[in-house]
Amino acid sequence: MDRFVPSFCGGKLAYACLSMTDEAGGADSENPLLAGAGIKTTAKLDGDEYVINGNKSWPTHGGIAECYLTVCTTDPNAGDEGVALIYVPKDTPGLTFGKPEKKMLFKTSINSPVHYDNVRVPREYRLAGPGMDAHFYHFIAAGTGWHSATMALGIAERAFEIVLDYTGTRQGGFKPVRQHSIVAGIIADMAIGINMMKASIYNLSYMLDHLDVYGPPWSPEFISRATTTRVFAGDTAVEIINKGAELLGSMAISEDFPYEKCLRDAKITQLWLGGQQISRYRVARGYYDLKNWA
């Protein structure tokens, strides 16, 4: 705490980074069914220090963050006990960064590879220790599910506002476009999707606020519920924003019109955190003992 918290409490803007996705595949490192066996970045205890080796791809704030919470394995065969979350300060020898990825969306977010070459940090930089680190890692899956869903909702709401506004003034068949019943049906489907996303997010928010009733947040049941919201929100946002684009004609893709940003931005909510397939495993695992097939 004393080592890291002060950097984030001063007048200077400081970033942190969750360095999780291994270069060899985010789906494996973020798949809870593999219980740490898919994590490729290693941490070996040498005296009072952890020695970290590996390569991460795409972490947000890679290269600009002051501190990297790094997802490692101390032993890929030890199950959750082998999962280690270790803080690595930016200036640690052996820690280097690649070029920021060029991407079609979220252009203001910096995503750069993070390389660990015999990076040594004191053993007390480990977050909590064997077992608890895995709990926190699974909790990250739940918390970021909420975050991804709220992002999907915000993008979909902006898309809806644009569609409603444009179709209210644009004329077709001698009346505003939205007065045609075939168009009204699509607008209604957008509204239904947005309201269902909201309901699911509010419900999950209530659960997160009442962990005494619904916790712990790393249980398979809680993670399943949180991931349900994330998967549903991502899929719904992409579907309704794509459909809404049809009501704007070619303006949907014009760079001089705000809708194309919604079309681009929504997609990430289906791609990160292991993607929608791994996420569906998390959902299923809340209902039965879904086996690890590694």
Ligand X SMILES: Cc1cc2nc3c(=O)[nH]c(=O)nc-3n(C[C@H](O)[C@H](O)[C@H](O)COP(=O)(O)OP(=O)(O)OC[C@H]3O[C@@H](n4cnc5c(N)ncnc54)[C@H](O)[C@@H]3O)c2cc1C
**Nearer Cβ to ligand X, position 108 or 250?**
108
From the list 119-127, 131-139, 173-181, 269-277, the region that binds ligand X by CB under 6 A is 269-277
Q: Is 20 in the site for ligand X (CB under 6 A)?
A: yes
Q: Is 60 in the site for ligand X (CB under 6 A)?
A: yes
From the list 8-16, 53-61, 128-136, 199-207, the region that binds ligand X by CB under 6 A is 53-61
**Nearer Cβ to ligand X, position 34 or 177?**
34
From the list 190-198, 201-209, 213-221, 273-281, the region that binds ligand X by CB under 6 A is 273-281
One-character DSSP codes across the chain: -TTTGGGGTSSS---EEEE--BTT-HHHHT-GGGTTTT---EEEEETTEEEEEEEE---BTTTT-SEEEEEEES-TTSGGGGEEEEEEETT-TTEEE-PPPP-SS-TTS-B--EEEEEEEEEGGGBSS-TTHHHHHHHHHHHHHHHHHHHHHHHHHHHHHHHHHHHHHH-EETTEEGGGSHHHHHHHHHHHHHHHHHHHHHHHHHHHHHTHHHH--TTSHHHHHHHHHHHHHHHHHHHHHHHHHHGGGGGGGG-TTSTHHHHHHHHTHHHHSTTHHHHHHHHHHHTTS-PPP--
φ/ψ of 174, rounded to 5, equals 65, 25
Q: Residue 60: how many CA atoms within 13 Å on its side-chain side? A: 10
Q: Is 268 in the site for ligand X (CB under 6 A)?
A: yes
From the list 1-9, 54-62, 135-143, 149-157, the region that binds ligand X by CB under 6 A is 54-62
Q: Is 220 in the site for ligand X (CB under 6 A)?
A: no
Q: Is 275 in the site for ligand X (CB under 6 A)?
A: yes
Least gap, CB of 150 to ligand X (angstroms): 15
Instruction: Give Cα separations from 30 to 41, 203, 256 (angstroms).
Output: 12, 25, 38
Cis (ω within 30 of 0) for the bond into 100? no
Options 4, 14, 15, 25; binder of ligand X; rule CB under 6 A: 25
**Nearer Cβ to ligand X, position 31 or 167?**
31
Least gap, CB of 223 to ligand X (angstroms): 15
Least gap, CB of 197 to ligand X (angstroms): 20
**Nearer Cβ to ligand X, position 18 or 156?**
18
Q: Is 18 in the site for ligand X (CB under 6 A)?
A: yes
Q: Is 229 in the site for ligand X (CB under 6 A)?
A: no
The 169-208 site mask, x for binding ligand X (CB under 6 A), equals: ----------------------------------------
Options 26, 54, 63, 234; binder of ligand X; rule CB under 6 A: 26
Options 42, 70, 74, 111; binder of ligand X; rule CB under 6 A: 111
Where do contacts with ligand X occur on this chain (CB under 6 A)?
18-21, 25-28, 30-31, 56, 58-60, 106, 109, 111, 268, 271-275, 277
